Amino acid sequence: MLPPAALTGFAGEAAPSKWPRPRAAPRRELLDLGVEMLPRVGPSLARKLARLGLRTVRDVLEHRPHRYEEPVPERPIGDVPAEEEVAIAGVVRTVNVRRPRRRLALVEARVSDGTGEVKATWFNQAWLAEKLQPGTRVRLRGSLGRYGFTVKSYDLDGGGATADFAPVYPATEDLTPKRIRELVAAALDLAGEQWDPLPAALRVDEQLPSRSDALRALHQPAGLEEAETARKRLAFDELLVFQLGLARRRAGREAETASALGEPGEVVARYRALLPFTLTDGQERAIAEIDADLAKPKPMERLLQGDVGSGKTVVALYALLRAAEAGFRGALMAPTETLAEQHFLTVEPLCRQLGIPVGLLTSSVPARERAGALEARILVGTHALIQEDVDLSDLAVAVVDEQHRFGVEQRKAISGGRSKRPRRQSRHGLQTASQATPQPHVLHMTATPIPRTLALTVYGDLAVSEIAKLPANRKPIVTAWVTEERSSEAYKRLRKHLDDRRQAYVVCPLIDESETSLARAAEREAERLRNGELRGYRVGLLHGRLRPAERRDLMAQFKARELDVLVATTVIEVGVDVPNATIMIVQEADRFGLAQLHQLRGRVGRGAEQSYCLLVSRLGEELTDSARERLEAMVRTTDGFELAEVDLDIRGEGQLLGTRQAGLSDLRFTRLRADRDLIERARGTAEELVGEAGPLDDEVERFFADREPAA
């Protein structure tokens, strides 16, 4: 590989200020068309696809398979070995549907190829019979067993489902991998030879295939090596775009100034004395690093990472108090209203004891009170409100909590079509900030820990503080996974904790995206539990449709032990902090994303007591591969870093039902650990290209715009 410097001025010439559009450019617009443009996609399918995050042709093309089928030999039907996966091809002779017992439908087709005939069997897909009319040509992949040739995947009159290395996409209940394959094939055809955002010379230097070739090979590889080469090209693209965004931000920040806050003062000293525990080494180190940053007249740009429950909030509040005691203001910015309220509930009582007024800024706070809140020294609110309403000139410290950027509320706002307001003060600083006003010191908090050296590589100049260890009194949470028919045992276990004066959470199934129907389902579930498994206990109900005051009262009651159990939707996943709660049941846990399960589990194990998390899933047969992988990972480890890696490997469905986390996990094709070299190269290339305007600009805009939280 050439050193990045060799890339300046492609082929030895000064780089043109605009790259010429490649000759085969015109198809780019096609990518932005909605999925409805693909054959046989109507409104209902489009909705299902939207739930997978697939809204445009481009989204479909960039939907990454999470694995590929093994290659299998094709055998003549007369010569199929027993119990071994093979492919056969032939013509349907007869077809019929049998229902040997309730809830079991067998489609049976006799298929022949001249060397012999075999009975092929499909389970519970009665609707297929119609398509398997005599004379239909089929290619089947499966194995010979008790029911004849049990079909695992099939193609009728062409198609790629039975091919060697057929891609396997994270499936959902109402969208089979087969259907997704068909859509991808249609999208590939439609997109054809596409626009390539990379300058040709760079592609040659980096020995990367064209983007069109890469996309085709991603979905229809001839072998695993080809698929991997394709993945790398796509990873390079996203890394380059990501790094370009960061580099541009750095360039824009060079001239910025911030208020230097001097030495820590009397308020934070009292704050430390007020805490009922001593800070961990990790917390102390983070605080020292923050203090050093705040003493400088340059804006701090620091990432604070630590697993769920590691005590980041304590550190964040320290930074906010430093602003307040120096006569400035601090703001804690949360991605959702619920999270902002939770933070407010944590922060406000402490600050009250310190005599520092705190204001809550969310859209459910009436305008009148909001004006009052704006007077406070420390503001807690959603990103959007703080960015819009707060005068930056006396804002000295901003803490940006990103652990849950794409929550239910955002997804709703996005799908509800509320447009994103253009914002001067973008989180990524892509727009040029005014350089006359001092900029706030910024602390980003994330609960997706990655190794520090890797974070430095990826985030560039962002400084990283890490709280590597949980407070010493913690015991790892014990996690168990049971299927529905054994849920009564889980509740028995939970009642035992309640009888020992402990408290518990029950998390309701995730049914769909609407906060209102979630709330209704949660109400029904709480009622059912009050009359069933939890009869005789004091059961509270927490969901996103409660008014803030109601929610606050409820949390106060739970904290005061006036309630034994909190039945809740995922609104409890962040911020809720009750150390006496030692057990949690997550119903239909298979529906949740991994990041979300990890966050949920973090609500217990917050004190010295041994805590438990019981994951109840639907029955084995009903689970998708990735659901199973997620649940197994949760049982295996409580390490957020390890889970983040697993999540990256099986992602897709995680995006659908779970949380889309910020930053690194926005990268779809990159494997953080394996791709270090690629990350370095993308970073070097970005440094070279940062001054140039060109087609990559649009990609940078898109990458960061898509990820801006819609408030």
* Residues between 267 and 306 that touch ligand ADP (CB under 6 A): 277, 279-280, 283, 306
495 Cβ partners below 8 Å, 6+ apart?
Answer: 533, 534, 537
| C-alpha to C-alpha distances, 4 to 200, 490, 657, nearest whole angstrom | 15, 57, 40
The nearest distance, CB 314 to ligand ADP, in angstroms, is 5
Which entry of ligand ADP, Mg ion, none binds 679, CB below 5 to 8 A by partner kind?
Answer: none
Strand-by-strand arrangement of the 441-446 sheet: 358-361, 378-382, 329-334, 395-401, 441-446, 301-306, 463-467
The nearest distance, CB 165 to ligand ADP, in angstroms, is 42
CB-wise, 121 or 313, nearer to Mg ion? 313
Which entry of Mg ion, ligand ADP, none binds 306, CB below 5 to 8 A by partner kind?
Answer: ligand ADP
Q: Which of 177, 359, 471, 694 binds ligand ADP (CB under 6 A)?
A: 471
Helices (H), 137-197: 177-191
Q: Which of 313, 342, 570, 587 binds Mg ion (CB under 5 A)?
A: 313
**Binding segment for ligand ADP among 13-21, 205-213, 311-319, 523-531 (CB under 6 A)?**
311-319
The nearest distance, CB 606 to ligand ADP, in angstroms, is 5
Is position 283 an interface residue for Mg ion (rule: CB under 5 A)? no
The nearest distance, CB 331 to ligand ADP, in angstroms, is 17
Q: Which of 63, 312, 383, 444 binds ligand ADP (CB under 6 A)?
A: 312
Which entry of ligand ADP, Mg ion, none binds 109, CB below 5 to 8 A by partner kind?
Answer: none
The conformation of residue 622, written as its DSSP 8-state character, comes to G
Is position 310 an interface residue for ligand ADP (rule: CB under 6 A)? yes
Report whether 173 contacts 591 (CB < 8 A).
Answer: no
CB-wise, 280 or 338, nearer to ligand ADP? 280
The nearest distance, CB 218 to Mg ion, in angstroms, is 37
Backbone angles phi, psi at 18, to 5 degrees: -120, 130
CB-wise, 240 or 345, nearer to ligand ADP? 345
| C-alpha to C-alpha distances, 295 to 255, 288, 291, 302, 440, nearest whole angstrom | 17, 11, 6, 14, 13
CB-wise, 4 or 311, nearer to ligand ADP? 311
Question: How far apart (Å, rounded) are the C-alpha atoms in residues 406 and 409?
Answer: 8
Helices (H), 27-172: 28-31, 43-51, 57-61
Strands annotated E in 33-171 = 67-68, 86-101, 104-112, 117-123, 137-145, 148-156, 167-168
CB-wise, 313 or 446, nearer to Mg ion? 313
Is position 308 an interface residue for ligand ADP (rule: CB under 6 A)? yes
The nearest distance, CB 638 to ligand ADP, in angstroms, is 13
* Residues between 119 and 148 that touch Mg ion (CB under 5 A): none
CB-wise, 270 or 628, nearer to ligand ADP? 270
CB-wise, 307 or 675, nearer to Mg ion? 307
Question: How far apart (Å, rounded) are the C-alpha atoms in residues 704 and 430?
Answer: 8
Q: State the distance between the two ends of the chain, measured CA to CA, in whole angstroms.
A: 43
For Mg ion (CB under 5 A), the number of binding residues is 1
Which entry of Mg ion, ligand ADP, none binds 514, CB below 5 to 8 A by partner kind?
Answer: none
Report whether 108 contacts 151 (CB < 8 A).
Answer: no
The conformation of residue 403, written as its DSSP 8-state character, comes to T
* Residues between 587 and 646 that touch ligand ADP (CB under 6 A): 606
For ligand ADP (CB under 6 A), the number of binding residues is 17
**Binding segment for Mg ion among 312-320, 560-568, 621-629, 664-672 (CB under 5 A)?**
312-320
Residue 200: Cβ-neighbour burial (10 angstroms; 0-12, 13-18, 19+): middle
List the one residue out of 405, 395, 387 whose CA is nearest residue 446: 405
561 Cβ partners below 8 Å, 6+ apart?
Answer: 501, 503, 580
- What is the residue whose two structure tokens read 């008014």? 547
Is position 448 an interface residue for Mg ion (rule: CB under 5 A)? no
CB-wise, 228 or 577, nearer to ligand ADP? 577
The nearest distance, CB 226 to Mg ion, in angstroms, is 43
- What is the residue whose two structure tokens read 């790259």? 19
> How many CB atoms within 10 Å of residue 528?
12
Which entry of Mg ion, ligand ADP, none binds 127, CB below 5 to 8 A by partner kind?
Answer: none
Given the rule CB under 6 A, which residues bind ligand ADP? Answer: 277, 279-280, 283, 306, 308-314, 471, 473, 577, 579, 606
Report the interface residues with Mg ion, using CB under 5 A.
313
